[in-house]
Structure 1
Amino acid sequence: MGTRQPLDLFAIGTMTIFCMVMASQQVMLKAVAEDLAPVFQIALRSGIAAALLIGLILVQRHRMPLAPENRIPALLIGVLFTLEFLLVGEALNKTSAGHATVFLYTSPIFAAIGLHLKIPNERMSRLQWLGILLAFVGIVLAFLGGDSTATLSRDVLWGDFLALLAGAAWGLTTVVVRATGLSALPARQTLLYQLVVAFVLLSLWAYMTGQADVNPTPEAMGSLAFHGIVVSFIAFLVWFWLLTKYKASQLGILSFMTPVFGVLLGNWLLSERIEANFIIGSGLIIGGILLVSSHGWLSKRRERRAGKPA
């Protein structure tokens, strides 16, 4: 495997577009929710993306062997991926797209705690624990925001909590991948397992809960095409390609533009109100996540500086 290069203007520009695309998905899910329920739209987009990914794998003639010991972890990440987006879909029925995006992107916090407990060489430093504390305070402050109407506040609070649980499911998915033989598999293979399981389980959930009705308006069909082709297929392939060229730690730090864009796009396109408490809390959450996620990069920089001759 070749040496990853530091970020350049192309990578920064590509990551900015990538983060805007990823941030817009909750906004678009919310915008067409009356015509196509978020949970069912996520199910359908997973099916579209899985079909496109299978086609790409067949064209490129990639083999996808799965060792017996990896079968249960493969099913588990599919279930966790499904749970993540089930929670996101239900959260969007209660809270704003901006709130859902910020709380979903708390996943690195949960991943860091899980890896700390599961893998000895993933123990967190004091700086990372400080980041965890900072993010926790931010979550509390963000939850204190909301509408002045009591009923609406309870709904928003419940939606925020579901989005936070979605972030925990995403973080746990990372732990399962890192702690099992799935970490040695190509990224598109693990993505395919997640997409197929999500398509099946979320479709069943949508039918059982009466959320499978579709009003095929141009906006709903456009959103579905955008999610299935751009978000779940092209954007993920671009992300995996960037990981083969550039340093993952630096890309990871840039990815935290996504919740910022999510809040701004929700305010601009859906006229979602941004509460002062939520702004402060979101800032603390993102700051805490950056402390947790950038520890490895900062440590390597310190090591390089210490190793330079005087």
Structure 2
Amino acid sequence: MRQTRLGPQALALLLLCCVLWGINQVAAKAALTEIGPLWQAGLRSVVAGALVALWAAGRGIRLFERDGSLGGGLLAGALFAAEFACIFVGLQYTSASRMVVFLYLSPFVVALGMPFIAHGERLNGRQWAGLLLAFGAVAFAFAEGFATPHSPQQWWGDALGVAAALLWAGTTLAIRATRLASAPAEKTLLYQLAVSALALCAAAVAAGEPLPAAWSPRLIGLFGFQAVIVSFASYLVWFWLVRHYAATRLAVFTLSTPLFGLLAGALLLGEGISARLLVALLGLAAGIVLVNR
């Protein structure tokens, strides 16, 4: 039975994941100067998938038993691959700070979809008000891409961020609506990493993206952070949490991630933080309070 309240351990794990995910967008954008977006996304899935398989083997977790999860796993993997294609390609056109704000539209879609899957996860009036407030805040931030864009194609990067958010929400809903809901977290994650590794690497070849001629220490560090710390460790924790706690509560709590993304973008990449983006962030924070109070 899934718990509706998040205890201290769950909150600490969620906070750590949110910090890592906020920094992840900065690391991905910084690495784009040395590796193409599709190769970067695909190869990190290759490395993280291998680590998940080794982790499961070491713990005696059987990943290849027939349990009826194949259909859900392929669906979740396809959505996962499309999500990260949108993120990494979108980062070429918009800032990491903006990408991380748009990406966290995902909890609203999860909140809309979960009542059709788990009737116990319906939201009350105050929580719906919080979701609407946060949604309006993100829409307010998106409008900046048309009013005062940093580049003519910023709106395209922003739009890909919104698409990635919808795909992330779809992945969460697919996990909860299929046999993956009772599968080990390692198996759930491996489905997504394996499918995305194949799909994204194939897309990189089809798009004619060149592989790096040499891997600098900088690129190895940025790539290693994404593959090992984020794609392997943090996602394993996230899918464990999805199995044990209410998905709506978890998804909405992750709205704290944009704060860490904004700070990381400003401190590590020197990205400017506009007043409009700060207002949007405050709206997101207010939405979190209303939904989780």
TM-score band, normalised by the shorter chain?
Answer: 0.7 to 0.9
Supply the RMSD in Å over aligned alpha carbons: 2.9
Structure 2 counterpart of 1:21, which letter?
Answer: L
Structure 2 counterpart of 1:94, which letter?
Answer: Y
Higher mean alpha-carbon deviation, 71-80 vs 112-121, is at 112-121
1:72 aligns with 2:71: yes
Deviation for aligned residue 1:246: 8.8
Once the two structures are superposed, the pairs formed by residues 175-194 of structure 1 within 5 Å of their partners are 175-194=173-192
Given that residues 109 and 289 in structure 1 are in contact (C-alpha distance below 8 angstroms), is that contact kept between their aligned partners in structure 2?
Answer: no
> Residue 55 of structure 1: SS of its match in structure 2?
helix
Instruction: Select the structure of larger CA radius of gyration.
Output: 1
Once the two structures are superposed, the pairs formed by residues 123-272 of structure 1 within 5 Å of their partners are 123-146=122-145, 152-215=150-213, 216-239=215-238, 255-272=254-271
Deviation string 1:168-214 (CA, Å, 9 cap, x unpaired) is 11111111111222111111111110000010001111111122421
Partner of 2:32: 33
Structure 2 counterpart of 1:283, which letter?
Answer: L
Change (3 A) 1:163 1:253: closer
Higher mean alpha-carbon deviation, 11-20 vs 219-228, is at 11-20
Following the alignment from structure 1 to structure 2, what is the Cα–Cα distance between the partners of residues 40 and 164?
Answer: 22
Structure 2 counterpart of 1:67, which letter?
Answer: D
Partner of 1:86: 85
Following the alignment from structure 1 to structure 2, what is the Cα–Cα distance between the partners of residues 290 and 166?
Answer: 24
Given that residues 253 and 290 in structure 1 are in contact (C-alpha distance below 8 angstroms), is that contact kept between their aligned partners in structure 2?
Answer: no
Once the two structures are superposed, the pairs formed by residues 112-131 of structure 1 within 5 Å of their partners are 112-131=111-130
Given that residues 189 and 236 in structure 2 are in contact (C-alpha distance below 8 angstroms), is that contact kept between their aligned partners in structure 1?
Answer: no
Deviation string 1:113-157 (CA, Å, 9 cap, x unpaired) is 12234554443322232123212311221012248766x454111
Following the alignment from structure 1 to structure 2, what is the Cα–Cα distance between the partners of residues 192 and 143?
Answer: 33
Partner of 1:308: none
Partner of 1:101: 100
Given that residues 137 and 283 in structure 2 are in contact (C-alpha distance below 8 angstroms), is that contact kept between their aligned partners in structure 1?
Answer: yes
Q: Give the TM-score taking structure 1 as reference length.
A: 0.82
Q: How many residues align?
A: 291
> Residue 256 of structure 1: SS of its match in structure 2?
helix
Structure 1: unaligned runs, 5 residues or longer: 299-310
Among all aligned residue pairs of Structure 1 and Structure 2, give the percentage whose two residues are the same amino acid: 35
Change (3 A) 1:278 1:208: same
